[in-house]
Amino acid sequence: MMSLPLSEEIQKYTVPWLQLDWPIDWPQIFDRPGDLVLEIGFGNGHFLSDMATARPDACFVGIERAWGSMRRLFRRLNALKLNHVRAIEGDAAFLLQHVFAPQSLSEIWINFSDPWPKERHHNRRLIQDTFVKILAERLKSGGEVTIATDHADYATWITDILTRQSDLQSIYATPSVHQLPGRTPTKYEQKAIDAGVPIHYFVWRRKSELSVETRIQKVGKMPNIVLEGAYQREDILTLIEQATDQVWRENHRDMQVVIKMTDIYCQLPDNHGLISVLVREGELAQYFGISLLFRKNDQLLVKLAPMGQPRPTWGVKKAVQKVADLILETHPHLWLASSTVGL
């Protein structure tokens, strides 16, 4: 089968999660019900596509951070004519918490995530206490998580974390086993097996129902602010240019929010301003633009630019507010005429 253009692959196989309400309505995405199965870190997509081929009635979602892996999965899905698989690009811990509802997943598979062997990097390991807590909450009662690793120290780390939580229990008499009957190994896994490296398989099951509130996060309106009064365009552009590389740190709902203006550009032919901005809210980082539109009748519009297609989160709205506040603080003849920021 001929491969699809990249634009069609993205439209067909990915989920535009930043533009959707959270948690995502997965039956609507797949246009049918079915057991929801998640693989975190699907690599070349072989394991995920094999599961989907064997189980046409289930709905499969894969999370990856590398676009090369996404492309390889797209080609595999297209060749196998698999229409019940979707991929999401992003941070697994953040996505698991926000786009999947509590008690919505039947299975979670985590194959050979990075062991980060150096002690100073252990905080980068995927398997952490908070991650496992969220994972357990997202599993249905009786749902299972399967974790595979060939790294002995990481296996000990995983064992310690799993055994000190109370919502999951091993389906075996031991925390992990060295063989899983009927399992099709990944490419990496087969190399480890051929080299005689022991594989540690953890299969843990949700014990019972958990009472977890589902927090609905609707996609909000795009924030914009209108300022009115006398100003000089060049003065405002100079002000913003001087503020680039400035970092603001805020706390919102026990989460650190970092806002940084990284650069400013003059947009021709209208000589409007475009500010490039980074906002990091916990594990979610968004790079986007804020436009400064210099209008007639002494109006200045501060709004999100199409660049980056950001989700209007609290941090993104705060960034728009920060730009407007910076201008108002230094231009006493300007005042706030209207705002849709809504903080």
pLDDT at residue number 220 = 84
Tokens 């475009």, residue located = 274
pLDDT, mean over the chain: 93
Q: What residue ranges define each of the domains in the chain, with the CATH number in brackets?
A: 6-206 (3.40.50.150), 224-339 (3.30.530)
312 touches 223 (CB < 8 A): yes
Q: Which of 294, 292, 299 is nearest to 230 (CA)?
A: 299
**Band of residue 343 on the pLDDT scale cut at 50, 70, 90:** confident
**Band of residue 1 on the pLDDT scale cut at 50, 70, 90:** low
Name the active-site residue from 114, 129, 153, 235: 114
Q: Which of 5-19, 31-45, 235-249, 284-298 has the highest mean pLDDT?
A: 31-45
Side-by-side strand order, sheet with 334-339? 247-252, 255-267, 272-281, 284-295, 299-304, 224-229, 334-339
Which helix (H) or strand (E) segment holds residue 255: the answer is: strand 255-267
pLDDT at residue number 308 = 79
Q: Which two tokens stand for residue 78?
A: 């297209």
Q: Which amino acid is at 330?
A: T
30 touches 58 (CB < 8 A): no
Give the pTM.
Answer: 0.85
C-alpha 298/C-alpha 115 separation (Å) is 57
Q: Which of 192, 207, 202 is nearest to 110 (CA)?
A: 202
**pLDDT tens digits along 295-335:** 988 999 999 998 878 999 999 999 999 999 999 999 999 99
**Active-site annotation holds for 57:** no
36 touches 59 (CB < 8 A): yes
Average pLDDT, integer, range 181-194: 92
Integer CA distances (angstroms), 177 to 47, 108, 183, 191, 200, in order = 20, 17, 13, 18, 6
Share of the chain above pLDDT 90, in %: 79
